[in-house]
Amino acid sequence: MKIGITVGITKEQESMWINGIKMNAIFLANALKEAGHDVILLDTSNKIKGSYKGKVVWDFDKFPIFRYLEKAKNLDVLILLGTTLLPQDISNYRILNPKAKIIKYMCGNNYVIDMERSLFKGESEAITTYQNNIDELWYVPQQGFQNHEYYRVLHKLPKDKVFPVPFIWDPMFIDDSCEFYGKVADMASEIENNSEIADKLIAPVYWPKKPKDKKLVIMEPNMNIVKFSMIPLLIAEEAFRNGAEFGELNIISGDRISKNHYYSSIVENLDVFKAAKDSKIKMNWVGRYPVHRILAQFGDVIISHQWQNPLNYAYLDALYLQFPLIHNAQMIQDAGYYYNDFDISEGTHVLEACLKEHDSHIDEYNASSEEVLTRYTVFNEGLVSTYNKLLENLVAGENKHNLSHRYNWKTNTYR
């Protein structure tokens, strides 16, 4: 099939790390190409003049991108992912290409985003893109709990046309970003044989250290309530009260909230903050950076927390780079160091154990991580096959493959 996936490019050489949406589009394109389809990216922003070749940061020949109107009329399937279209634009597209099928591919927690835009001052200028003129709605599986029914009703779709799809991840952009340091595997080998390099090298690869020298890092984006740094901070706080040793605590994407008076009034009561004030440890609130830079500069152990968002590229990137990850993401509970929900006490215990014991079983940890990571890549044949069956069902207008559409996190396919 000829498939187009929408993205929005605002300037030449736009970074992949602004948000995850362009990565999501390219990862999907990669999986659909692996399934044998002809896939292109479609830019709906009209900000780039002339050919896109040499103006985007990915391999144009592998993932070609064109202006939406130049190629949309020749598609079998249009996937609205990186950008969406207004209802009138969809109607116009139906006239332009009446045989094409249209999928809305949802990647974010729209119920929470819409709630915040509706309730809080300063968010009212955004407009909705819910519509009743698409064929199916696919969403990443971590968003199902709050959004499945929300999507169904607002998009006016039958129950059998709204469902989760396998989550897709790939290390391609992490590898590209690490070229400055050398490929991950090569660098790890070099460090292993030269401890002096390990002591001096600032690179996004985990290297054992004494607990008192380790940097704890919290890298939630702090942009909305589903990924906020407070629970990880309290896990570090309780571990510190219990006598855990670490040298530094860094809160990424924390520079803005550190200026919030109410937030500061909470933090200033913490023992870890008082210790930092007395220069016993270092504590920093810094800006937002790509994950490879965060792990190169700010962290040895990651403490994370999410609320109904139990899959995240940042978590998978961290596992790929072999860092210990403390997390409550139940869809990867078989990787990293898992604690339940909002259980700070359990998270504290997990962190304390990680600080003491991780370096003695790194090989087992990394082998487990690799096994989990594979299920989100095109090396998972079930993932590729599932997408192929979804597309064939879409074109056929019926569930001819009898897919259950019930997501299984252990396989990243269906039950």
pLDDT digits (tens, 9 = 90+) for 279-334: 999 999 999 988 888 998 999 999 999 999 999 999 999 999 999 999 999 999 99
Q: Count the residues in the chain.
A: 415
The structural domains of the chain, ordered by start, are 2-169+378-414 (3.40.50), 172-374 (3.40.50.2000)
pLDDT for res 200: 47
Distance of alpha carbon 401 from alpha carbon 385, whole angstroms: 11
pLDDT for res 122: 66
Q: Identify the helix (H) or strand (E) that includes residue 65.
A: strand 65-67
pTM of the complete model: 0.91
pLDDT for res 341: 97
Tokens of 379: 């090396």
pLDDT for res 356: 95
Q: Which residues in the chain land under pLDDT 70?
A: 122-126, 179-203
Whether 109 and 146 have beta carbons less than 8 Å apart is answered as yes
Residue type, 226: V
Q: What angle do CA 28, 31, 35 make, to 5 degrees?
A: 135
Whether 369 and 376 have beta carbons less than 8 Å apart is answered as no
